[in-house]
Amino acid sequence: MSLKSSLSLATFAGALLVAGGSAAQQQAPNPLDAIPDKMPFDIPYGAAISLDHAQAAVAAAVAESKKRGWKMNVAVVGPGGHLLAFASMDGAQLASVSIAQHKARAAALYRRETKAFENAVQLAHLEYILTLDDVIASRGGIPLVEGGKLIGAIGCSGGTGSQDEAVCKVGAATVK
């Protein structure tokens, strides 16, 4: 190897080290490394919503869907994610039967609106969220909280995400 080749190789290696070092120093901190003082979404679980109350939430969501001319599937689950009440409107998309139930289950088990998962994937690019069990990254699942305790969740599916969410909010509003 000639002296000229050796110097070129050394210069190239040195440039790589400098570039690597400066890139590492300029890299922004990972926001996932932040440690919150309090637990997020720490709503205590309560007794399951009653069947009458679950059916009232479904009925309110269905009434809103009819008013808007949308065909929806609506599910209400208890705090453990078990189905308590369900309605499938005439002509509602068949695939949305399981999606409505999935949205309700995820909202109950994770104690947050499923819109939080949608935002995590779509806006924050936190794709690792999709590796968690029973997550659905689509709005339209809302926890039902009464007296500061999670008593269940409602999930709606059949329209766009924003339509599902609008109908779900009406059903969720039956819980005070």
DSSP letter at 158? S
pLDDT tens digits along 39-80: 889 999 999 999 999 999 999 999 999 999 999 999 999 999
pLDDT in the model for residue 33 = 87
Query: Is residue 36 over pLDDT 90?
Result: no
* Confidence band for 30, pLDDT divided at 50, 70 and 90: confident
Spatial contact of 113 and 9, defined as CB atoms under 8 Å apart: no
What are the sequence ranges of the domains in the chain?
Answer: 3-33, 51-172
At 128, which helix (H) or strand (E)?
A: none
Residue 176 DSSP SS3: coil
| pTM score of the predicted model | 0.82
At 152, which helix (H) or strand (E)?
A: strand 149-157
One of 3.30.70.920, 2.60.120.10, 3.40.50.300, 3.30.450.150 is the CATH number of 51-172, namely: 3.30.450.150
